[in-house]
Structure 1
Amino acid sequence: MAKVLVLNASYEPLNITSWQRAVVLLIKGKAEQVEHNGKMVYNNFPLPTVIRLRHYVVTPYKEIPLTRRNILHRDGHSCQYCGYTGDELTLDHVIPKSRGGGETWENIVTACVRCNVKKGNRTPKEANMPLRQTPRRPISSLYFEVTKHVRTGTHQEWRKYVIGA
C-alpha cells in the first residue's frame, strides 16, 4: 500500500510508515503534512506522502552491515568500472586483499566479471580503470530504503529530503 516518509522536526528522514499511521499522526497533531499526491483520504484531506514531526526525536546511530546485497544496492546494481547492469556482477576489492586491502565499505565495489578479471591484482589506477564513483559507507539504513522508492520512481518527491538519492 502507500508509504509515507516521516521527517524529524529538523527535516531529516526518520522513518517510512504506512499511510494509515501517518494519518493518525496528522489527526493527533503530532505531525504536519509536507507533501501529498493529490489523492484524498477524506473530503479535503489529501493522502500524505511526506510528513514532518512537530517535536524532534533523538535516534541512536545504527550501523549498516557490510553485505553483498547492501554493496549492490549502494552501487545501483552496476559495475563501477564500465557501468554494466546485469546478472553477472561480482564484488571487487579496490585495493586487492593480497596488497593489504580490507573488507570495508570504502574498499569494495560491484564489478562485472569482465572488469574484475581485467583489473586483476592491481589498483584501479594501475589498471587504468577509474571508478565511476568513490565507494563510501552509506549514511543510514533508512537511506537504503528511501533510495529504493526513489529509484523505482514510486516516490520522486522524497528525493529532496535525502542526500545523494
Structure 2
Amino acid sequence: MSKVLVLNASYEPLNVTNWRRAVVLMLKGKAEQIEHNGKYVYPELPLPTVIRLRHYVRVPYKEIPLTRRNILYRDSHSCQYCGYTGDDLTLDHVIPRSRHGGDSWENIVTACVRCNVKKGNRTPKEANMILRHQPRRPYSSLHFEVAKQVKGGVHQEWRKYVIGV
C-alpha cells in the first residue's frame, strides 16, 4: 500500500519500511506518527507516512557499493554529457583509466555510447565536453530510496527530513 519513512529519535532518517511495520511500532509505543496522508487504517488511526522512534538507535555507517546499477541511479539514468536517456548507456571514466583514473564515485559517470566514443581517451576538458553534474559519492543507500520516492512525487512530505533531495 504505502511506504513509511522511519526517523531516529533525533529526526535523522533511518529506514523506509512498509505501513504495517510502522503501525506495529506505533501500537507498541516504540514510535510516534509525525506525518500522515489523510488515509486511515482504522477510523481512529491515520495511515502514517513518517514515524519517529521514541528512543535513539545507534546505526553503524554503511558504505554504498560502487556498482553499475547505483551509478546509473545516481545519474538518473541519463548521459552526463548530452542528457540522453535510454537503454544503451555506458559508464565513462572522467579521468581515463589509461591516465591512472581509478574506479571511484568521483571518477565514473553515466554516458551514452556516442558521447563515450567521442570523448575517447581524453578528459572532458580536452574533448571539449561539459559534465552536466559533477560526480560525487551518494550520502547513503537510504538517500537513494528516499530520493526515488520524493522525485517520483509520491512522498513530498519526506523532503523536509532528508538533506539534498
TM > 0.5 fold call: yes
**Which residue number corresponds to residue 6 of structure 2?**
6
Matched letter for residue 37 of structure 1: N
Q: After superposition, where does 1:98-137 map in structure 2 within 5 Å?
A: 98-137=98-137
Which residue of structure 2 aligns with residue 19 of structure 1?
Answer: 19
Partner of residue 63, structure 2: 63
Corresponding residue number in structure 1 for 2:44 = 44
TM-score by length of 1: 0.94
**Residues 137-152 of structure 1 aligned to structure 2 (within 5 Å):** 137-152=137-152
103-112 or 150-159: bigger deviation: 150-159
What is the distance in 2 between the residues matched to 1:29 and 1:146? Answer: 25
Residue 136 of structure 1 aligns to which amino acid in structure 2?
A: R
Which has the larger displacement, 89-98 or 76-85? 76-85
Which SS does the other structure have where 1:60 is aligned?
Answer: coil
Whole-angstrom distance in 2 between the partners of 1:125 and 1:49? 45
The number of residues matched between the two structures is 165
Q: Distance in 1 between matches of 2:163 and 2:115?
A: 29
**With structure 2 as the length reference, what TM-score do the two structures score?**
0.94
Shift in Å at residue 38 of structure 1? 0.2
Rounded to whole Å, the distance in 2 between the matches of 1:100 and 1:69 is 23
Taking only the aligned residue pairs, the percentage that are identical comes to 81
Q: Does 1:35 align with 2:39?
A: no
Question: What CA deviation, in whole Å up to 9, does each residue of 1:20-64 have, x standing for no partner?
Answer: 111111122221111111001111321000111121110011111
Structure 1 range deviating more: 143-152 or 133-142: 143-152
Partner secondary structure for residue 33 of structure 1? strand
Secondary structure in 2 matching 1:133: coil
Secondary structure of the residue that 2:83 maps to in structure 1? coil
Q: What is the deviation of 1:129? A: 1.2
Unmatched segments (≥5 aa) in structure 2: none
Give every structure 1 segment of 4 or more consecutive aligned residues whose post-TM-superposition deviation is greater than 3 Å.
none
Shift of 1:154: 2.1
- Distance in 2 of aligned mates of 1:160 and 1:70: 24
Matched, 1:54 2:76: no
Mapping of 1:81-100 within 5 angstroms? 81-100=81-100
